[in-house]
Amino acid sequence: MKPDQNKEAITSYTYIINAINTIKSYNEGYITNFFFREERCNLLINNKLLDIICYEKCVFILYEDHDFFHLYFICSNEKTLANSLLKLISNYTDYTFTVDIIGTEINTKKISDIFSTVGFNIYTTLYRMSRIKNLDDQQVIDIKAENGTPNHTKQIFNIFEKYFDKYSEQIPLLEEITQFINNNNVLVITEQQKVLAFVIFEINGMTSYLRYWFVLPEYRDKKFGSVLLRHFFYESRNTRRQIFWVLASNENAIIRYKHYGFEAETMLDIVMIKSQEKRKE
């Protein structure tokens, strides 16, 4: 790997905001796939997991995750993205990258074509689905789930590591799970202190985000998933809509979600990957 003199560690969330404002100041447009909450940014910064690479009118943010990097871009337009991406990849040929390209089908096609030119391939696609709340969300659930506690943190983290796809499902850090629990955004079903199922969600204004919803495979005939989803609806009863992302290939899940009133939106998340090349000895 050739050293990249533009690469710096991100030391504060303000650093990112200043980079975004600089790109916007060119008044040539603005395209990005970087939509992190400040709270999450600060957590990743504190763990020294975010780096920034600045080229002319284009900024890349690298998030180190397991043995690869999530790649985020903040650029003035598609042309500067294409030119800067070529420079970036030439300096990191032995790294594995993934990139989430978010938008409508037309917009994601334009950006994904740019990434294809430097060796990225489509890994998977996610749909965003949403649901408008209804009166049934006010009902109290007979079968109770419980709020997650710090004692559940490690178990939930281990479930993510075992069952989730690290490239497409954005596995949270242990500290992130702790934050979700401290914010009362985790509901679990347990048996003899073993976590059998959980949901993780966030509420922002009048929108509720279902971040993760999981049941251990050997307990999927117990209707725990349904119980947790109804609890999620109840917790979201003061919001106007609930949204989440689902893998386009998970047809059975999409059918279940539609049963609960969710409908696919026009927003897509195209996950692309560029695998590392063998180093030349």
Q: CATH number of the domain that 215 lies in?
A: 3.40.630.30
What does the pLDDT look like over 59-68, one tens digit per residue? 999 999 989 9
Residue 14 φ/ψ region, left for φ over 0, alpha for ψ in the -120 to 50 degree band, beta for the rest: alpha
Which pTM value belongs to this model? 0.90
Task: Give how many domains the chain has, as a whole number.
Answer: 2
Whether residues 150 and 86 fall in one domain: no
Q: Is residue 102 part of a domain?
A: no
Residue whose token pair is 């009166």? 135
* Position 222 pLDDT exceeds 70: yes
Whole-number Å distance between alpha carbons of 141 and 198: 15
Q: Is the pLDDT of residue 249 over 60?
A: yes
For residue 115, give the 3-state DSSP assignment: helix
Is the residue at 245 inside a domain? no
Q: How far apart (Å, rounded) are the C-alpha atoms in residues 71 and 202?
A: 24
Whether residue 253 lies inside any domain: the answer is no
Nearest to 44 by CA among 175, 218, 159, 167: 175
Residue 276: pLDDT band (50, 70, 90) is low
Residues 138 and 90 in one domain: no
Q: Are residues 88 and 145 in the same domain?
A: no
Rounded Cα–Cα distance for residues 236 and 163 (Å): 26
CB 127 within 8 A of CB 246: yes
Last residue of a domain, one of 68, 95, 122: 95
* Token pair in block for residue 189: 């079903």
Domain assignment of residue 206, given as a range: 134-239
Mean pLDDT, rounded, of the chain: 91
Residues 231, 159, single domain; the answer is: yes
Tell the burial category of 226 from Cβ atoms under 10 Å away from its Cβ (0-12, 13-18, 19+): middle
Of 70, 95, 120, at which residue does a domain stop?
Answer: 95
